[in-house]
Structures are given as C-alpha cells and as structure tokens.
Amino acid sequence: MFNRPRRNRKNASIRSLIRENSLGVDDLIAPLFIIDGKNKSEEVSSMPGIKRYSMDLLLKEVKELHDLGIKCVSLFPALDDSLKDKHASESKNPDGLLQRTIKEIKNKFPEMLIMTDVAMDPYSSDGHDGLVDENGNILNDETLDILVEMSLNQAQAGSDIIGPSDMMDGRVMAIRSALEEEGFNNTLIMSYTAKYASAFYGPFRDALDSAPKSGDKKTYQMDFHNSTEALREIHADEAEGADILMVKPGISYLDVIRDMKSSTSLPVAAYNVSGEYAMVKAADEKGWIDGDAVAYEMLVSFKRAGADMILSYFSKEMAMKINKLN
C-alpha cells in the first residue's frame, strides 16, 4: 500500500499539524436575554444553563464573557406584555430596557461589540416580526418604516451591529440608507440573510414569550425545503449594503452555510439556535451523549462548512473549554 491515510492520524501532534479548521474564542458571539428589575435572574426552562438577567447581573455576565476573550454579545430584551403593542412602539423608547443596557455595557466595556436584533416580535402584541393587518397579513413596506426607526434608535444608543432578523424585503436597503443619512456610517449590518421558518426557534420564543399569537412566519421566513432561494437573498443583502451575512438555524443548514460562503466575499455568520442548544442539553442531562463534546463538534462543523463566526448559547462554555485547551 502506498496510500495509508492513517499515517497522517498516527498521533496527536501530526493530527494538529494537518488540522484544517479550528474553533477560537474570537469566532464566538454570545446571545443574552435581558429583563427589567434589579438583582434578578430567571432560568429559561427549555434552555438549561441560560438565564434572563436584570441589567446589574447582565453586566457581571458580560464581564465574564469579556474576560474569557469573547468580543461580541447579541442582546434580546424580554418585555412585559403590558409594553407590547401592534406597532412595537416600545422599540423606539430611547430609555427602554434594551437602550439602557446598550449604554451601560458600552460605558463599562467600550471594546465589547454589541449586536442588536431588529424585528418587531419582542415588542409586538401579535408576536410577529412585521406589522399584522386585520386579515392576518404581514405588511412588508409598512414594517420597513418601523424597522428603520428601531435601527436608528439602537444605533443612537450605541449598538455596533444592527441585526435585521425580520426577513421583510428591502429592509437592509432601508436601514442602510437611514444609517447613512443620520451619520451612522460606521454601524455594521449583520443581516439574517437566509433565515428559515424553523421549529428550532421554540425555546427562544419561550425565553422572550414572543411566539406568534396567530398564524406562522412562513410568508416571510424561508421555506426549509429550499437552498437556491438563499442565493437571491444573498444577492439582495449584498447589493443593499449588508456587512456580514447570516444563516439561521445552523446545524441542519450547513449546506446553506457552504453555499453562502462560496457565493459571497462578505463574512458569513451562523446562528446555532435555541432548539439546537436545547436538544444537546436534554440528551446530555439524560446521560445519552457527552454534551460538551457534542457542542464542540457542532461548532467546529460550522467552521468546516465555512462560517467565519458563530452565534451560540454555548459560547461561554466553549470559550472556557478552548481557553483550557490552549
């Protein structure tokens, strides 16, 4: 035999020398859930290990992430139902929970990048990402005005990266134009470019109590039977001024990540979503898998598929693991 692939695997040293991909702490973005109040933390029951924090405790969490070497957090406010309405008005409140939190984090950790989600659902009494008319239709162009205001408001509060997760047509263009006009030419847009209508978002909707009150999100989020359709979204977001493109969910969509990476010169992000986290934690709790090892393998698979960065609820524990390995 001339060809013995096992020669290149014969010990840890040669394996590390030929290794094609690696996971670093600086690949990771940590999503965080915020609640109002003081000294409050609440477990998200479908996401063991993940909590909603009041701002004081959230700052401690951000400090720990910062000390671990994590460079970016993505913030999601969990609002009381009394603050939700049809037009997501609370998203425009300059003193809202999210806005206050952005300012506090920027104040204490100026170099920590803050990413904020742009979509109506956490603020909407309908639980949809867009404006709902009396027949249950999600109105595209009317929603854009709200998304633009939301984005400007987040940029004003100090958000570094605006993350439109709503899947309305033309949102990146609308947001980019407004940011340029208002002097926020250094604010990035990480677009949820290929965001699928997915059952993997269940635990996240528990965390924010943001599930749609009626209907589903299939008229705006993509049909998971499709992959070529993602190319159309990629071309649109590139032309409209996005800085980073994202695929979501992640683990069942590695083919889409690969396609995206080979069809754009922009950086590609993957969102390892709540349901993917929950499945690993549940099986780990039952003793059926080694959750830590499976999580690491999952995150490396995103890198192998071509992702430049990963949003994951595993970010903190993986950063601890990676720091220990190094």
Chain contacts with ligand PBG (rule: CB under 6 A):
117, 119, 121, 129, 165, 201, 204-205, 273-274
Local structure of residue 223 (DSSP, 8 states): P
Cis amide leading into 164 (omega within 30)? no
Distance CA 206, CA 45 (A): 8
- When the beta carbons of 204 and 253 are compared against ligand PBG, the nearer one is 204
> How far is Cα 199 from Cα 204, in angstroms, rounded to an integer?
11
Nearer to ligand PBG, 4 or 210 (CB): 210
Question: Which one, 31 or 291, has the nearer CB to ligand PBG?
Answer: 31
Minimum distance from residue 214 beta carbon to ligand PBG (Å): 14
Tokens linked to 186:
């250094």
From the candidates 84, 195, 261, 281, which is the catalytic residue? 195
> Where is 10: in which H helix or E strand?
none
Examine the residue annotation and report whether 195 is marked as an active-site residue of this protein.
yes
Tell me whether residue 321 is one of the annotated catalytic residues: no
Element (H, E) at 190: strand 188-195
Kindly name the residue from 248, 261, 316, 321 that is annotated as catalytic: 248
Q: At closest approach, how far in Å is the CB of 270 from ligand PBG?
A: 12
Shortest distance, position 121 Cβ to ligand PBG, whole Å: 5
Phi, psi at residue 293, to the nearest 5°?
-70, -40
CB of 1 to ligand PBG, least distance (A): 47
No. of H helices and E strands in the chain? 11, 12
Tokens of 260: 């995206």
Tell me the pairing of strands 138-139 and 131-132. Answer: antiparallel
Nearer to ligand PBG, 101 or 165 (CB): 165
How far apart are alpha carbons 239 and 255 in whole angstroms? Answer: 23
Q: Between 184 and 192, whose beta carbon lies closer to ligand PBG?
A: 192
CB of 80 to ligand PBG, least distance (A): 18
b/e map 218-250, b = 16+ CB within 10 Å:
eebbbebeeeeebeebbebbbebebbbbbbbbb
Active site residues: 195, 248
